A and B are shown apart, each in its own frame.
Chain A
Amino acid sequence: MFDFYNRIADTQIDIVYLGETVCSKRKLLRRDDWLSLAKLLQDAGKEVVLSSMTLIEANSELSALINLCRNTDFIVEANDMAAVQQLSGQSFITGPAINIYNPHSLQVLARQGLKRWVLPLELSRQTLVDMQQEKPDNIETEVLVYGRLPLAYSARCFTARAHNLSKDDCQYRCLDYPDGLILSTQEQEKFLVLNGIQTQSAKTSNLITELDDLIQHNVDVLRISPPSRHCEKIIDVFYQCLHQNYPLDQANDELQALMPAGGHCNGYWHGSSGMDWYTKTQEAACQPTPS
């Protein structure tokens, strides 16, 4: 873990989100370790954000969240309304699992101290455009442009279930699957990914070919949710496109080679099923192709 973040410190990435967002049982690092990683990245010139848990059920999870929100050194990403409640009155960021679907909601959170929000994953380009037109000036907009999509959270651990274990006796089997456990249909189509209590898309969402559109609509931050491998290469491709006019089609080809199994998708951006893939030429006709 420390090796990984040492390498990230040397990349061109501007912002790093740190911390466990899925399962409170996964304690790969202690809180102090996370904070020392945060300091390391900050010293390397990165903006560091401490991410918080998405599904908060037990009192112990709530206590940990409250502690995290009370840190005074780093801004926090809220992924549950409990965090928004805790962070009200100070500057904070909302992750994709906070439901901000309309400008009215954005204004409610702006009153609480919202600094930056992430477009919820199932919302389209058109909704983003509408939001950008009405959002308060001082709020930044972030869009997930690369990575498997976190689609759902449950009390049940599906990785443990796949091993005939209960969540309370999960034996941390998820650690054996750094990119999650593939769930396929009975026709062997890679469909979803089981990541403990979280279910992700098997397809990697990739908006690299929409980069000009994102910039034109004043998106401030592009988020990459990296697979277990090739993170630095993916960052480099996006950086070259943003700063060195690297051709987007070529970048798209390169990113496809770096994806984990399952293919790619961008349907949500086009107002369609999330799993669909639209090529640039198909956009006009609005017809997805199987990917």
Chain B
Amino acid sequence: MTVSNNQHTTNKMELVCPAGNLPALKIAVDNGADAVYIGFKDDTNARHFSGLNFNEKRSRDAIEYAHHRGTKVFLAINTYPQASGWDRWQRAVDLASELGIDALIAADIGVLDYAAANKPDLRLHLSVQGSATNPEAIRFYYENFGIQRVVLPRVLSLKQVEQVATSSPVPVEVFGFGSLCVMVEGRCLLSSYVTGQSPNTFGACSPASAVQWQDTTDGLQTRLNNVLIDQYGANDPAAYPTLCKGRFQVSGNTYYAIEEPTSLNTIALLPELQAMGVVAIKLEGRQRSPAYVKQVTQVWRAALDACHNNAQNYQPKAEWLQTLYSVSEGRTTTLGAYHRPWQ
């Protein structure tokens, strides 16, 4: 067993659940989340979707509900402001501080600097959008802004996660389940190349406003800003055209050249993640329904409890896996980069 410098090897890992609206937040709290993460209703967060997220009033209600039940609330202000929008991000940080959230999840060094300098009581977590994949990068954010946790991008093998967890100046949080970014987060411009809007600039990848579903004689075609992402036969289930998960042609072969529609699932790795000193497991999916939040929170609560009670004999239960498959993209899951052969 590796002894982490963070001394969390015997600690319980925190379950961090997504909430895109108040009903989802309540369900996450009621079903065992240790923390929920939310965003404001604008482009200051990386799930800037229509009908999603929290205005000031809803944020207050959410925090009150969660805190009353002993659950923490993290707030994501994790996109990258440009000069013309800077005031919006600054106001968001000010409001976050005033609301009394438990941690601000941020990525941009300007936003982090503003928060560190002006809101010293705000606990800062480095967002996955901060793109820190190694201890030296994390050290930059720790020394300059005093971050207290880092969310690791989904590009590291299990061994690399261990190396980072061991040498990082702050504890690490990793993704456990949900949509899989194949590219290192915070430095992927594929979406803006095609649609003009990216996670960094707009808070969305492959945004719905650019999506076209077209029935043609060749079958159902899915397009992003007119670029053909995939096409399907009459009986094939069609997937949302996330552009890195389409079928393309390379050297005359048509296949998922970047990645299949699939979800990340690390439920089998929990004892190893715990032994490395990982302090929190994050579930992706603020854009998903309250029903999704209920299912994944229940499964991961049970899994974490089982792992914490007896890591040596921990085995994911068949029904957990079945539930997770049922809410996964393409009804399949992967260990992603954690599993070296995937790379």
Contact = CB atoms under 8 A, between A and B. Distances in A.
Contact of A122 (B184, B189, B229): B189
B134 A62 contact: yes
A11 interface: no
B215 to A, nearest CB: 16
Contacts of A57: 133-134, 155-157, 160
A191 interface: yes
Contacts, number: 216
B9 interface: no
Interface stretch (B23-31, B75-83, B264-272): B75-83
Interface in B293-343: 337, 340-343
Contact of B137 (A85, A161, A267): A85
Place the interface of chain B in its size category.
Answer: 35 or more
A109 B141 CA distance: 12
A118 B244 CA distance: 26
Binding site secondary structure of chain B: mixed
Interface in A177-226: 181-189, 191-192, 194, 199, 201
Contact of A154 (B80, B139, B163, B184): B184
A80 B249 contact: no
Interface stretch (B42-50, B170-178, B194-202): B194-202
Interface in B149-199: 155-157, 160, 163, 182-184, 186-190, 192-196, 198
A104 B114 contact: yes
A103 B163 CA distance: 34
Contacts of B86: 102-104
B136 interface: yes
A157 B257 CA distance: 10
Nearest to B196: A273
A100 B83 CA distance: 11
A59 interface: yes
- Leading 10 A-B pairs by shortest Cβ distance: A104-B110, A130-B83, A82-B136, A274-B193, A85-B140, A155-B155, A152-B183, A81-B137, A155-B337, A105-B110
Given A81-B130, A109-B109, 19 more contacts: A55-B155, A56-B133, A57-B134, A80-B131, A84-B140, A104-B110, A107-B113, A108-B109, A122-B200, A149-B193, A151-B189, A152-B188, A183-B248, A185-B227, A185-B249, A186-B231, A194-B250, A267-B196, A274-B192
Interface of B: 80-84, 86, 107-111, 113-114, 130-137, 139-141, 143-144, 155-157, 160, 163, 182-184, 186-190, 192-196, 198, 200-201, 225, 227-231, 244, 247-251, 253-254, 257-259, 337, 340-343
